[in-house]
Chain A
Amino acid sequence: MRERHPDVVVVGGGLVGLAIAHGLLRQKLRVTVCDEGDRDFRASRGNFGLVWVQGKGVNSPPYARLTSHSARLWPDYARQLQRDSGIDPGHTRRGGLSLCLEIDELAEKSAAMAALKAHTPGFDYEVLDAAGVRRFLPGASPDIAGGIYSPQDGHVNPLQTLHALLAAFEALGGTYLPRCRVDDVSHRAGAFSLTTSGPTLQTARIVLAAGLGNARLAPLVGLYAPVLPVRGQVMITERVAPFLPYPTTSVRQTTEGTVQIGDSQERVGLDDGTLPEVLVNMARRAIALFPLLRSAQVVRTWGALRIMTPDGLPLYEESRSHPGAFVATCHSGVTLAAAHSELIAPWIAGNDAPTLLETFDGARFAL
């Protein structure tokens, strides 16, 4: 059934759009998700899968609180998602580590963690030397400077999470429209009309969760979303026996046994390719951290484009000129998925804007 007059149209079928859409269905609204094609940029297919608290919002207490809140919601959210979809998103929250090769790096991180703890209720961490790291991760090199452990960190299987979100959306009666690029949005008498490459859609509420596409779409409904791509390159190895019981910011082992490596950041525009020079550096760093990775076979590498606002923080806002039009964008679609489903959906459904999201409007980007 193709729903042409849903209560809400969510533009974007990635982790952000589907998490919000899933929440909206649980608010008993009729929801349509417009998504693009098979080869479009999809951060949701290329991410690292961390549900990560340490290091998020060191300079932004509201972001730290939102992140922390979402990480706390995740265990229940994962169960909900599995109930609705029959697919396990693979969430675990046993803590995670960020590792430092150099002592200066560790000192810098320790100071940042102290600042984060000062403004983030419930956030805990531990500074570890190499021996301390090896108690958590016996495969880590004894030659590293150390690392930070936080029990609030965790990870999911990001692709199973995407699959679970899509399956839950379908199971709860949502309408998913692939190959449905939104070309134009008009607003008349409190209703939006969306011209797409598929059917024309009418709705009272629209949520822009189109990642990099939000930059183009936001002005159509009186919003401003100056997002730019920041590429991350990722490598993944063959499946190996479990050796990494905790995720780290640059190396983690998936439930299947593959090892994901990557924490690069480059501003290269809309290019999701890979560069040998960057991969060489990532490989050297991964081996320096975990010498036993040396012989692991890399089966695939890719580039994925993070969706970055000028200050790196999320953007959530309802349009003043076009009430009923919302924008939601961030570069932590995994970590914030639980919050998106639990907080943003009720807001769009008509409840008051949640206080946790108050400072994330686009006014901060105005000149």
Chain B
Amino acid sequence: MAPVSHFERLPCVGGEVVTITIDGEAHEVDSRWTVAAALIAHGHTRCRCTPEGQSRGPFCMSGVCFECRVDIDGTPNRQACMTPVAAGMRVVLRQDLRALA
């Protein structure tokens, strides 16, 4: 699905640019961002699917609603809004229930 919602990046100072991947695609992001900010900035308003098949995305950005759970560096269902980005981070948007492994 093509991203449609476009948040605009305002002029920023300081920080570093790091590269993360979202579903395998590389993106340059500000090192001070959370994963959820990176998702939103790149149009991923939708980041997971409920067991009933409904699309969900970041909602509260403050750790309350647990809607923005994504797989980060192989760990499933982490809160994207509570996790700062890091260079080389791999973010995967989950479509189904996680399997234990």
Q: Which residues of A contact B (CB under 8 A)?
A: 139, 238-241, 243, 256-257, 292-293, 295-297
**Contacts A239-B51, A256-B51, A257-B51; is A295 near B99 (CB within 8 Å)?**
no
Flag whether B97 is at the interface (Cβ < 8 A): yes
Closest to A238 in B: B77
Query: Dominant SS at the A interface?
Result: loop
Interface pair A293/B100, CB less than 8 Å apart: yes
Interface pair B76/A295, CB less than 8 Å apart: yes
State the 5 A-B residue pairs at the shortest beta-carbon distance, nearest first: A292-B100, A241-B99, A241-B97, A240-B100, A243-B100
Closest to A243 in B: B100
Interface pair B97/A296, CB less than 8 Å apart: no
A257 to chain B, nearest CB (A): 6
Closest to B50 in A: A239
Interface pair B96/A241, CB less than 8 Å apart: yes
B75 to chain A, nearest CB (A): 7
Flag whether B1 is at the interface (Cβ < 8 A): no
Apart from A241-B96, A295-B75, what are 17 other A-B pairs with CB-CB below 8 Å?
A139-B100, A238-B77, A238-B98, A239-B97, A240-B98, A240-B100, A241-B98, A241-B99, A243-B100, A257-B51, A292-B100, A293-B100, A295-B76, A295-B100, A295-B101, A296-B100, A297-B77
- When A and B form their complex, what is the total count of cross-chain residue pairs whose Cβ atoms lie within 8 Å? 28
A292 and B98 CA atoms in complex are apart in Å by 12
Interface pair B97/A292, CB less than 8 Å apart: no
Interface pair A240/B99, CB less than 8 Å apart: yes
A299 to chain B, nearest CB (A): 9
A257 / chain B contacts, CB cutoff of 8 Å: 51, 97
A-contact bits for B84-100, CB 8 A (1 contact / 0 none): 00000000000011111
Interface pair B77/A292, CB less than 8 Å apart: no
Closest to A296 in B: B100
A258 and B68 CA atoms in complex are apart in Å by 19
Closest to A259 in B: B100
A240 and B96 CA atoms in complex are apart in Å by 9
A293 / chain B contacts, CB cutoff of 8 Å: 100
A297 and B77 CA atoms in complex are apart in Å by 9
Interface pair A241/B100, CB less than 8 Å apart: yes
B96 / chain A contacts, CB cutoff of 8 Å: 241
A139 and B99 CA atoms in complex are apart in Å by 12
B97 / chain A contacts, CB cutoff of 8 Å: 239-241, 257
A341 to chain B, nearest CB (A): 31
Closest to B69 in A: A238
Q: Can you offer 5 A-B residue contacts whose CB atoms are under 8 A?
A: A238-B98, A239-B51, A243-B99, A292-B101, A295-B76
